[in-house]
């Protein structure tokens, strides 16, 4: 057989070898459609109906904030503090680190009602109380995964195993980018604690141009994007043109869509050399803005990232996700409900509220959905010991709280309820898949129709589940 460029991949080699019915069968088994679909989203006519939102800012609190100490006061838990948890609560329940004979733990924090809506909030959230009438609190939220990695993946991809596209990647895939000089999906990260993997913002089986691009608020905004010493702008442009020509020749031979993605990535990186430093430089913001957010230019902080999120959506970035680690409060010196929970609230409460207010003042809140939440909540039972530096709670996915604002969300409401101990979501329950379906709906997307064919199956963010939560829509 004559040498051929088609032999560059094993699959192409197998497709070209053999004769007769065996080769025909092999060719059908190795159909390109089983390996990758077009880069265009299935479902046609996206958006499917008039959207209420254009951008989303997802404030992901990694580690599992305690709903019982922040949003969901339980008088019965206070009344029965120190008693053993009722057996019926923990029947058929898997717990991460504590036993089923653990003692109930009342919140050490006081709660009060705020706003015209009379929503209960903890003393740890003094800033959030000022905007409760702009926020929808989903207290009947629940998940299925009780350990960090699968739970974080579940919240971000709709699956507990790595390999599925993240929600931001689905947005990029379905709606595309507004600003050709910036990615459609940007990730910003702060805090320390439970490690995160890029599978939570990866593109999975979607073309890699849709994966989240990690930006940094300190140092070089994007790693490896700057020109090396001796490489000027003109030489860089010439190099990219030459590489692009070579990649296009390769694509004509192999018809591999990832080659087109590689070309697009090179071009985006070139444009980002100019666009990203400008958007990441917050030093020109007004002193009043810095005071509102609590920002300090040049530092890596959740506050800086909240301000950057506003600047990014202003410039047309579709999906901005802020990860803030450090909410895993089991008890002890590595994380407890006294010192460490207070610190996390001090780091996040003011800038998150400033973000809402800033968007509202600029007329952007109506078209920008802001979502706050972690991968799960914390148990009503205690972990650790009854000492300020040791008291904690275990992982808890069965009922907890997230909140949302702007972007077509009904303001000033509490949706759903947990039981008298804050253990199970018992009223107007909202599952992870329901949240994803609702978010897509706000952007004019029918979650049943946004699909991608991979390995012979049409996949979607909500898998085979999900109902739009209409009660929280404005």
- For the chain, give every domain's residue range: 1-30, 43-225+281-472
- For residues 400 and 392, the answer to whether their CB atoms sit within 8 Å is no
pLDDT of residue 250: 83
Judge residue 200's burial from the number of C-beta atoms within 10 Å of its C-beta, 0-12 exposed, 13-18 middle, 19 or more buried. buried
> Judging by DSSP bridges, how do beta strands 452-454 and 400-405 pair with one another?
unpaired
Angle between helices 167-175 and 432-442 (to 10 degrees): 30
Question: Residue 169's closest CA among 185, 180, 155?
Answer: 185
> Judging by DSSP bridges, how do beta strands 55-62 and 319-325 pair with one another?
parallel
Question: Residue 53's closest CA among 410, 409, 338?
Answer: 409
Q: Distance (Å, rounded) from C-alpha 129 to C-alpha 114?
A: 6
Q: Distance (Å, rounded) from C-alpha 142 to C-alpha 175?
A: 28
Q: Distance (Å, rounded) from C-alpha 213 to C-alpha 222?
A: 8
pLDDT of residue 40: 47
pLDDT of residue 193: 85
Both tokens of 185, joined, read 């999906």
pLDDT of residue 413: 98
Q: Distance (Å, rounded) from C-alpha 139 to C-alpha 4?
A: 61
265: left (phi over 0), alpha (psi -120 to 50) or beta: alpha
Architecture of domain 43-225+281-472: 3-Layer(aba) Sandwich (3.40)
Would you tell me how many other CB atoms lie within 10 Å of the CB of residue 449? 17
pLDDT of residue 51: 97
Q: How many CA atoms lie within 13 A of 42 on its CB side?
A: 17
Q: Distance (Å, rounded) from C-alpha 39 to C-alpha 262?
A: 13
Q: Which residues contact 56 (CB under 8 A, 6 or more apart)?
A: 171, 318, 319, 320, 368, 369, 370, 371, 407, 439, 443
pLDDT of residue 30: 37
Both tokens of 322, joined, read 């802020």
Helix and strand numbers, DSSP H then E, in the chain: 13, 17
Tens of pLDDT along the chain (474 residues) come to 444 444 344 444 444 444 443 433 333 333 333 333 443 455 567 999 999 999 999 999 999 999 999 999 999 999 999 999 999 999 889 899 999 899 999 999 999 999 999 999 999 999 999 999 999 999 999 999 999 999 999 999 999 999 999 999 999 999 988 888 899 999 999 999 888 999 999 999 999 889 999 997 676 666 656 667 777 777 767 777 777 778 888 888 888 877 877 766 666 665 666 667 888 899 999 999 999 999 999 889 999 999 999 999 999 999 999 999 999 999 998 899 999 999 999 999 999 999 999 999 999 999 999 999 999 999 999 999 999 899 999 999 999 999 999 999 999 999 999 999 999 999 999 999 999 999 999 999 999 999 999 999 999 999 999 999 999 999
**Helix/strand/coil for 18:** coil
The DSSP output letter for 452 is E
Both tokens of 224, joined, read 């490896």
The DSSP output letter for 461 is T
Q: Distance (Å, rounded) from C-alpha 2 to C-alpha 21?
A: 23
Q: How many CA atoms lie within 13 A of 426 on its CB side?
A: 8
Angle, CA 137 vertex, CA 131 and CA 141 arms, to 5°: 160
pLDDT of residue 12: 46
Both tokens of 129, joined, read 């109380």
Q: Distance (Å, rounded) from C-alpha 352 to C-alpha 59?
A: 8
């Amino acid at each position: 057989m004559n040498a051929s460029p088609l032999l560059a991949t094993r699959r192409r080699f197998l497709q070209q070898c053999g004769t007769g019915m065996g080769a025909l069968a092999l060719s059908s088994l190795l159909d390109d459609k089983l390996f990758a679909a077009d880069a265009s989203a299935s479902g046609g006519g996206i958006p499917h109906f008039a959207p209420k939102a254009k951008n989303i800012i997802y404030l992901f609190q990694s580690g599992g904030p305690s709903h019982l100490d922040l949003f969901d006061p339980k008088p019965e838990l206070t009344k029965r503090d120190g008693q053993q948890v009722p057996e019926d609560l923990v029947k058929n329940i898997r717990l991460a680190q504590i036993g089923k004979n653990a003692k109930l733990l009342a919140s050490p924090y006081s709660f009060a009602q705020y706003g015209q809506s009379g929503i209960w909030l903890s003393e740890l959230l003094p800033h959030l109380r000022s905007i409760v009438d702009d926020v929808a609190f989903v207290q009947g939220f629940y998940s299925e995964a009780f350990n960090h990695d699968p739970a974080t993946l579940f919240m971000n991809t709709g699956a507990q195993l790595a390999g599925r596209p993240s929600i931001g990647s689905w947005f990029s895939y379905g709606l595309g980018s507004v600003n050709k000089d910036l990615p459609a999906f940007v990730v910003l990260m702060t805090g320390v604690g439970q490690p995160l993997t890029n599978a939570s913002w990866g593109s999975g089986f979607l073309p890699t141009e849709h994966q989240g691009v990690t930006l940094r608020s300190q140092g070089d905004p994007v790693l490896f994007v700057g020109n090396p010493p001796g490489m000027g702008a003109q030489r860089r442009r010439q190099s990219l043109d030459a590489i692009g020509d070579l990649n296009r020749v390769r694509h004509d031979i192999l018809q591999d869509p990832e080659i087109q993605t590689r070309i697009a990535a090179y071009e985006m990186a070139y444009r980002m050399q100019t666009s990203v430093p400008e958007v990441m430089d917050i030093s020109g913001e007004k002193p009043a803005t810095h005071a509102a957010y609590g920002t300090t230019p040049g530092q890596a902080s959740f506050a800086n990232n909240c301000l950057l999120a506003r600047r990014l959506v202003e410039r047309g970035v579709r999906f901005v996700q802020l990860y803030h680690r450090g909410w895993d409060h089991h008890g002890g010196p590595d994380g407890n409900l006294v010192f460490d929970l207070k610190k996390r609230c001090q780091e996040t409460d003011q800038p998150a509220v400033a973000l809402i207010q800033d968007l509202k003042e600029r007329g952007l809140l109506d078209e920008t959905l802001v979502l706050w939440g972690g991968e799960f909540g914390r148990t009503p039972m205690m972990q650790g010991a009854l000492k300020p530096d040791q008291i904690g709670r275990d992982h808890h996915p069965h009922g907890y709280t997230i909140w949302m604002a702007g972007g077509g969300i009904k303001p000033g409401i509490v949706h759903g309820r947990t039981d008298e101990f804050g253990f199970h979501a018992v009223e107007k329950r909202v599952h992870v898949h329901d949240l994803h379906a609702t978010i897509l709906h706000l952007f004019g997307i029918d979650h049943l129709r946004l699909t991608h064919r991979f390995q012979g199956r049409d996949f979607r963010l909500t898998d085979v589940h999900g109902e739009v939560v209409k009660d929280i829509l404005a």
